[in-house]
A and B are shown apart, each in its own frame.
Chain A
């Protein structure tokens, strides 16, 4: 399997809409047992961009517990998401609210089409993407592993296209590596695999497909030892990227010896 490894520097990080991230791993901030664990895991992962959700303030709590009390926008680039939105209008509304917080124009666009699988509603995602791109957002669009949708999202002006490995929170890893490879080979914007990664081998395998980055949340937050898993993921992303850049050996269905055939004894 050929790839253009020689023209890529494996260590140069991830550039999205002119913004350079040192790490190819982006992590979520949800589902952690407590904020200290969340922060320790995020730091162990080496990620410099993190996703956050937009939700109502709980007015009856005596102490305000927003995530910005625990995580500084000076340390991490914040990526507000439109999680929980099932329509383009909702996603647009949440994206605007996220931007109004004043931490930049990035948005992770997600419009869900099905409660059971949390698979994206790609028609609604495309519609929302067009509106948000027009309004100057840097749109990173969560999508499925369909090539045509990925191309349409790129045409719509998305800064990154983020095909799922498998359903959000499933831990199934990449179920369609062929489609992920095809998407990466055809798009010009960064391709970031988002959703479904479960353990380090999934992350390594994803990067070996040549994608530009990974986004994960549950894989870290639901691990028994969140910091250990975050560390594993950091290594896995580095290993997978290096392996891809190295240009792997071809796969064959016959055996080819590694030791010489000449010089065998009588």
Chain B
């Protein structure tokens, strides 16, 4: 039985995720609060308003970042 998964690169690591997810759903899989992170997909920032409309595709490279302490 093949599970419907795709491979993406996420924060520097290869990961397998369910196919057909939106970015919003991807964030939810990792228990991330959308308002507290910024998503870059294939070197382009995905505005928060577009995350539920944008699908995660095989071979995508994501960077999900947030604010941390710094000087």
Contacts and interface: CB of A to CB of B under 8 A. Distances in A.
A66 B66 CA distance: 6
Contacts of A93: 43
B21 interface: no
Contacts of B63: 56, 97
B55 interface: no
Interface residues of B, number: 25
B71 A67 contact: no
Interface residues of A, number: 36
Contacts of B32: 57, 64
Contact of A67 (B12, B33, B67): B67
A51 B67 CA distance: 10
Contacts of A56: 11-12, 63-65
A236 to B, nearest CB: 18
A168 B68 contact: no
Interface string A101-116: 1100000000000000
A95 B14 CA distance: 26
Interface string B31-51: 111011110100101011000
Given A56-B12, A100-B38, A100-B45, A64 B33 contact: yes
Interface of B: 10-12, 30-33, 35-38, 40, 43, 45, 47-48, 63-71
21 contacts: A31-B69, A51-B71, A52-B67, A53-B70, A53-B71, A54-B38, A55-B68, A57-B11, A57-B30, A57-B64, A57-B66, A59-B64, A68-B36, A93-B43, A97-B40, A97-B63, A97-B65, A98-B38, A100-B45, A101-B37, A168-B71
